[in-house]
A and B are shown apart, each in its own frame.
Chain A
Amino acid sequence: MVGLRLVALAYLAIILLGPLAMVFWRTFEHGFHNFWSTLSQPSTVHAFEMTLLITAIAVPLNTVFGIVCALAIVRKRFPGKGLVNAFVDLPLALSPVVVGLALFLLYGRGGWFYHLFADRGISILFALPSMVLATVFVSLPFVAREVVPTLREIGDEQEQAAHTLGASGWQTFRRVTLPSIRWAVVYGVVLTTARCLGEYGAVAVVSGRIEGKTETATLRVQDQYENFNLAGAYGISLVLATIAVCVLVAMTMLRPREGASAR
């Protein structure tokens, strides 16, 4: 067992911890002052704002969708349930570049929805709407996938009891169902948020990466790197990595206990 333990720990240290340590080291190699000045560039600040804005829109949307979809999958019978399952799971297996391209082809010149929006002067591509759509697509599954097994395990007896006591559909949802899936939803929200903050490929395709307008934090990292501004790239990376560590902490604390659902 000790031998296996060493193998596992060595592997993890090399593959995971090495990179993590590098972020912190390289950023402060050039001093803290440098780090702060690169972060306070207007374009960088704007990039962070875009990331936060997109996340603030995408997370609530996917949370609502995730809960409603999970309830439908577990509690209701309807044709095409397998298809719904497949499409909800698709973002987990699909390359973000393919997602970006698909949106590009739908809303871009020659696409089915092009005239619908262009004729009204609404920009989808190279603007916020497509970036939100891309981010919603890639972060779609997480809340639903966390809530489904919890709902299955709980069963609908509590809800039946509520109905026999006179509660309406909405009351039952709000006072019985929702509290019982609370922690699954929270965990799903954490995963969704992490995915939104870290999204690169799909947004890179649809946004056009216009500095100061349609760059997110992750896109900005690449931009800084390509412009040989390593300090800038590392600075943004450090912020993102710190958020990632916070996400890890949240995930660890909230992780559904193995063998039991989190209630």
Chain B
Amino acid sequence: MASAPLAVHRAIPRGSAGDALSLGFVTAFLSVVVCLPIAALVWASTEGDFWTAVTGPEAVAALKLTLLLAAAAALLNAVLGTITAWVLVRDDFRGKSLVNAVIDLPFALPTIVAGLVLLALYGPQSPIGINVAFTRTAIFLALLFVTLPFVVRTVQPVLHELDTEMEDAARSLGAGNRTVFRRIVLPTILPGILSGVTLAFARAVGEIGALVIISGNLPYRTEVASVFVFNRIQTGDRSGAAAVAVVLLVISFAVLLGVGALRRLATRHERV
């Protein structure tokens, strides 16, 4: 065991061949899988006339619709997701663990299947008589489905760790339930809600599978940005598709930056 004395002083060997190998692998894998395709996309978008493609009326309409509906779905799920997280953490009832499991259904179910059954449920053959197929409402419902788990799952762990003693302390100081929620609970879970909303928004902006069937993609009426890009690829307008795709890419990066910032915001009071 001649290496033992050395191992005591340098427990994790630094700068070894193993290090270089693993970093090289990570870099190569990421480059091939992610970076190069993205670079090719950005490059292609500059080939045609980027501004014309992006400011064309149909593109603008698609982007506006996307942002509007995604924001609406994310916000609604923020409220209901927070309520759901609260109920799952603080309440107790039979079947709670079943409910907790079902929350992840939109993560597990293929989006195309979700779109199909949403059509069955809210379309021409609806068993409950609601027919909103090929309307903006249908898109909204589909986006509600796919973004449902996000806020729930980001708020749950924060609520779990919330020190109920803080709430007891507030009550002993005279605060009623509403005040306790407003001044103690909400400030603490707000970063969790916000990062959930942001991720939900990004997901909704990019959603395609659940929308191809149910939205009917009527330009200016029910065509969202992702469907717009899809259509332009099929008609061969590559640079037109690339331009709008780059806008979506920028939104995605902005979302990631936002979530990172929110994470730092959440822990700011814990850093000395």
Contact = CB atoms under 8 A, between A and B. Distances in A.
Chain B CB count within 10 A is highest, among A22, A72, A159, A164, for A22
B131 to A, nearest CB: 14
Interface in A41-82: 65, 68-69, 71-72, 75-76, 78
B212 interface: yes
A111 interface: yes
A36 interface: no
A198 B238 contact: no
Contacts of B27: 84
Given A7-B83, A258-B160, A205 B230 contact: yes
Summarize A's interface: helix, strand, loop or mixed. Answer: helix
Contact of A160 (B12, B26, B121): B12
A16 B208 contact: no
B229 A68 contact: no
A176 interface: no
A244 B120 CA distance: 19
A155 B229 CA distance: 45
A214 interface: no
B69 interface: no
Interface in A211-263: 217-219, 221-222, 225, 233-234, 237, 240-241, 244-245, 247-249, 251-252, 258-259
Given A16-B105, A26-B120, A251-B108, A89 B256 contact: yes
B199 to A, nearest CB: 7
B12 A200 contact: no
Nearest to B255: A93
B245 A201 contact: no
B111 A198 contact: yes
B160 A102 contact: no
A249 B98 CA distance: 9
